[in-house]
Chains A and B, each alone.
Chain A
Amino acid sequence: MSGTSLRPMAGSVAVLVALATLPWWAGDQYQIHLAALIAAWWILVAGLNLVVGFGGQLSIGHVGLLAIGAYAFAILAGRHDWSPWIALAASGGLGGVCGLLLGLPSLRLPGFYFAMATMAFALIVAELVLALGDLTGGGVGLSVPGFPEPFESPAGHYLLMLGIATIITWCAWNVARFPWGRALVAIRDNPVAAESVGVPVFRMKLAVFVASGVTAGLAGALFASLQSYITPDTFVFELGLFFFVCIIIGGRGSIAGPLAGTAILTALPELVAPLAKLGTLFYGLLLLAVVLLVPEGIGRLFQVILERLRPRETASPVLEPDAARLAAAIRRQERP
């Protein structure tokens, strides 16, 4: 391991240890619940980040995939008494399949068309959840079972989600730093140039979209068992917007930025009461401010401030004229 990547590595291990011991030092149950909620959202955002932040495909409808995962888990584990673990895997798989079905036609479309297609997908899922009342409980909703021991208690459930979130983060980080991630960024920045250097643009976009569908399905299942009761009102379109805002605010093309964005945006309205009343309006204002002022994301803002505070020592090169060689060159020119 090279010396440069050692410090962030040590930092993330320290953060991970702090998070893993949270149940022992948290003030109350509510904080653990909030942390578990952040973990659930991050599992979805980590996958979506590869699509939006790296691939540049603006999907605003991932809440539809989240709802599919949540309802799949509730129906399989709750009504058909499947083992929660198999139901969890099935939710992720179903999310991936739905991501494939959504991505196959829509990823061929240009920017605005794609965003509208994903938004329409979210609205269709919301519509079907209400329409297929026999399966989903309609407007009344469904109760969702939890996980077996030792993950039954709130703390255990939180640790389970933290574990899955860590694995997902590690996967996303691996995708991002290897040629995959580079190819995705190339697709985002210039699809024509990417295609001309041999990046399989459509297959690449589809692959990360399916992966994001899997994480959305997993996040839906975990979120549902965390809430223990789901209704169609949980999965409103504004929630999809929230995931999207987390990524844009955190900064596109990074992993730490959207992670911080998810944590802050989830916790902020819970801790500051007036913001909760504003709700989605607050996210809209934040998104507008970021897009207009720092389109690279808040993470970039911190970087700039740090660079201001701690100016890097720039070596000022002093050029000494090599008098002898100069004279020789001039003489050579004069000779003919």
Chain B
Amino acid sequence: MLGVLITGLAIGALYAATALAYNVMYSTSKVLSVTTGHLAMLGGVFGAWFVTELGWHPVPALFASLAVGAFAGWLTDVIAIRRVLARSDEHLWLLSTLALATIVQQGVALWWGTEPKPFPRLLPQDFTAGLADQKYWLPIGTTIVMAAALELFYRRTLYGKLFVAMSEDAFAARARGVETDRLRAISYGIAGALGALAGFAAGQLTFAFFAVGLTLTLNGFIALAVGGLGSNVGALVGGAALGLLNAFSANLIGGEYQNTVSVGLLMIVLLLKPEGLFGSRRVRPV
């Protein structure tokens, strides 16, 4: 039973980290980007490429993966968000990020192959460690550090406060002289780096696999919707809940019904509490 619990928490940590990346992008642009899960996928695939194929040490590989993720996040803003937000049609960003996500996923599939490839060991550790194995506690630890660092960033730094100001009211922030376009680009870069970090840390769990992106986009979103859009505590709780539910249901009724169970959780939460556990109530336009 302990094994199921730890597996669930580890996979839940990855969902929570994806939800955090969603939140960072949402705070400055009010956009839920379909590419979010693909940022984590890029971290995993490029990490495996740097270490296994190019023979790099894990530390420079980590930083290079973060750079790739940040670049991909920034690219999301430049290609799919900037021009579309200026046009202010609420559906267009969904289409443009969906198109970009498809391009990224299929591009990786053509270059990297459609088979999952093993992710290298990051720390020297025996394979006999069982539940204390690094593939479980690396994602959990990374996600906790990530959430704490984001909280510090929002509370203690000027840029963090600007993000909060933008998420409260982007027009007012702009009127006060905040460079909203540059901030949005920075937030997308940060989200890309966070996503890549999560994908890198959880690489041994998910393998370097191109299809992980779409799964994470969906499950990270479910974690976010369950926890409450815009809330980082909600993202952690939602991710943990979803991961544990997946692990226990796989243990009890078999692993074939993963998506069905996840979406069932989403539907129940949306019916009972549409704004999520920790979300602020959405105002209905009238």
Q: Do A and B bind each other?
A: yes
Min Cβ gap A267→B in Å is 20
Q: Which residue of B lies closest to A106 (CB)?
A: B267
B32 to chain A: which residues have CB within 8 Å? Answer: 112
A127/B256 contact (C-beta < 8 A), A58-B94, A284-B100, A292-B96 known? yes
* A237 vs B98: C-alpha distance when bound (angstroms): 13
Residues of B within 8 A of A (CB): 32, 79-80, 83-84, 87, 89-92, 94-96, 98-103, 106-107, 110, 214, 218, 221-222, 225, 254, 256-260, 262-263, 266-267, 270-271, 285-286
In the complex, whether A148 has a CB less than 8 A from a CB of chain B is no
In the complex, whether A281 has a CB less than 8 A from a CB of chain B is yes
Q: Which residue of B lies closest to A188 (CB)?
A: B91
Q: When A and B form their complex, which 9 residue pairs have the shortest distance between CB atoms, in order from nearest?
A: A284-B102, A131-B256, A281-B106, A288-B99, A287-B99, A284-B103, A120-B263, A112-B32, A123-B259
Check A291 against B218 for contact (C-beta < 8 Å): no
Check B90 against A241 for contact (C-beta < 8 Å): no
Min Cβ gap B167→A in Å is 17
A60 to chain B: which residues have CB within 8 Å? Answer: 98
A238 to chain B: which residues have CB within 8 Å? Answer: 102
Check B260 against A127 for contact (C-beta < 8 Å): yes
A105/B95 contact (C-beta < 8 A), A120-B259, A291-B84 known? no
* A124 vs B256: C-alpha distance when bound (angstroms): 10
**Per a CB cutoff under 8 Å, which of B100, B214, B221, B262 touches A288?**
B100
The secondary structure that dominates the A interface is: helix
The secondary structure that dominates the B interface is: helix
* A124 vs B94: C-alpha distance when bound (angstroms): 22
A283/B102 contact (C-beta < 8 A), A127-B258, A127-B259 known? yes
A112 to chain B: which residues have CB within 8 Å? Answer: 32, 94, 221
Check B103 against A281 for contact (C-beta < 8 Å): yes
19 A-B contact pairs sorted by A residue (CB < 8 Å): A56-B91, A58-B91, A105-B267, A109-B270, A120-B218, A124-B263, A127-B257, A127-B259, A128-B260, A131-B257, A278-B110, A279-B106, A281-B103, A281-B107, A284-B100, A287-B102, A288-B80, A291-B96, A292-B83
